[in-house]
A = this chain, B = another copy of it.
Amino acid sequence: MEKRVFNLNAGPAILPEEVIKEAQEQLFTLPGAGMSILEMSHRSKKFDEILLSAKNGIKSLLDISDDYEILFLQGGASLQFSMVPLNLMPPKNKADYIVTGSWSKKAVKEAKRVGTVNIAASTESENFKRIPKPEEIKLDPDSAYVHFTSNNTIYGTQWHAEPQVGNLPLVCDASSDILFKKIDVSKYALIYAGAQKNIGPSGVVLVILRKDLLERSSDSLHTMLNYKTHVENNSLYNTPNTFGIYMIDLVAKHLVKKGGLDAMYKTNLEKAKLLYDCIDSSDGYYKGHAEKDSRSLMNVTFRLPSEELEKKFIDEVTKAGFVGLKGHRSVGGLRASIYNAFPLLGIQELVKFMIEFKAKNG
C-alpha cells in the first residue's frame, strides 16, 4: 500500500483512516445491498436507514433536541450564504452580520441582495487577526437574525464562546469547526456547515435548523432554495449526494466510538497546544497571525522571519511528508489545518520538524 502523507489541507481535509478503510471495503458491494452505495436508489429502504442513521449520529453527537431539523443539502456553505437571507430575512428584511473573515464577507454580499445588512462588528481593518470583543458588537434589536462565522479558516481565528445576542436568532457558519467540541445548539437558530472539514467529503452541507423559523420561508421562493421543501421531504426532495451522506454516517459512528465530542475536544486542545507552544517558545522565529485569545484550534496560521524562509520551510516540510501547509494568500506564510481526524502523532512530528528547521535556519 502506498504511504499516506500527513494531510494538513484546509478542506477537503483529512478523514479518519478507519472510516476510509471501511468505505473502501464496502465500496463494491454494500453489505446486504447487493450493489455499491454509489448505485443505490435514494428512495430505497437501505438508504433511508443510512440517512436516518446519519441524522441521528449528528443529533446525538451534538445533543440536539427535537426542536431542530437536520438537513443534508447541496451547494456548500456558499449556497447557504443565499438561502439563509432568502428564507430568514423576511418580513423584516434586515439582519446583523459580524464580519471576521473572507467567508463572513461572502455571506454579507449575498444577504445584501435580499435586504439591509447591518455590520454589527468587523475586524477587517486588522486583517482579521482577532474576534471582536463583546463591547464592539452593535446589534440592531429589530434584526431578523445575527450571523457569524465560528472559525475563520484563512486567518486562524475562532470564537471561544457564542456572541451575546439576547433574544435575536443566532445563525452560524460552522463549516470549519463543527464537531470540534460539543456546543450548546439550543443557543442557535440555524447552523450550517460544509461537510469537507470535520464531517465527511465535499458535496454535502449540513443544516441544523430550529423548526419555528420555517414559518418565515415564503412559498414564492424557488423550490430548491426553500428550507420548507427540504424539511417536508426529509432532504430527499431531489436526489441528494447519497455517498456523501453515507460517509457522514460513518464519520459520526466513528466519533461516537472514539468517545464523542468531549474526547475529541480534549485531543483537539492537546494538539493545538503543542503547536502553539512551539510557536510561542520560538523567540519570535515563528509568529502567529491570530491574537492569542482568538486562536483557532482548527487552523494554526503562522509566519517565519522572511518569505524566503517560508518558501524553504514549505519545500522541506513537503519532502518530510506533510502537505497542505501553504497559507492562504490573504495572510501569507503557513497554515496547519489540524481538524478532528489529524493525528496527534502528526503534530508531534511537525513540531519536531519546526524545532529542527529553526535550529538550522535560525
On A, residues with C-beta under 8 Å from B are 1-5, 7, 9-15, 20-21, 23-24, 27-29, 31, 34-36, 38-42, 44, 74-79, 81-82, 86, 106, 109-110, 113, 194, 196, 200-204, 220, 222-225, 237-244, 247, 321, 323-324
Contact = CB atoms under 8 A, between A and B. Distances in A.
Q: Specify the main secondary structure of chain A where it touches its partner.
A: loop
A36 B9 CA distance: 12
Contact of A113 (B39, B40, B77, B220): B220
Contact of A202 (B23, B223, B239): B239
A203 B74 contact: yes
Given A12-B239, A75-B224, A81-B223, 4 more contacts: A34-B321, A203-B241, A203-B242, A203-B244
30 contacts: A2-B29, A2-B34, A3-B29, A4-B35, A7-B35, A9-B40, A9-B44, A10-B41, A12-B239, A12-B242, A14-B39, A15-B38, A20-B38, A21-B28, A23-B38, A27-B27, A35-B323, A38-B200, A38-B247, A74-B241, A75-B75, A75-B79, A79-B224, A82-B222, A82-B223, A110-B222, A113-B220, A202-B241, A202-B243, A241-B244
Contacts of A2: 29, 31, 34
B224 A82 contact: yes
Contacts of A31: 2
B10 A36 contact: no
A223 B7 CA distance: 30
Given A74-B74, A82-B225, A39 B15 contact: yes
Contact of A203 (B13, B194, B203): B203
Q: Which 7 A-B pairs have the closest CB atoms?
A: A203-B241, A5-B34, A78-B238, A74-B74, A24-B27, A82-B222, A38-B201
A292 B202 CA distance: 43
A12 B201 contact: no
Contacts of A41: 9-12, 324
A269 to B, nearest CB: 23
Given A4-B34, A74-B203, A203-B244, A12 B39 contact: yes
A27 B20 contact: yes
Contact of A239 (B106, B194, B223): B194
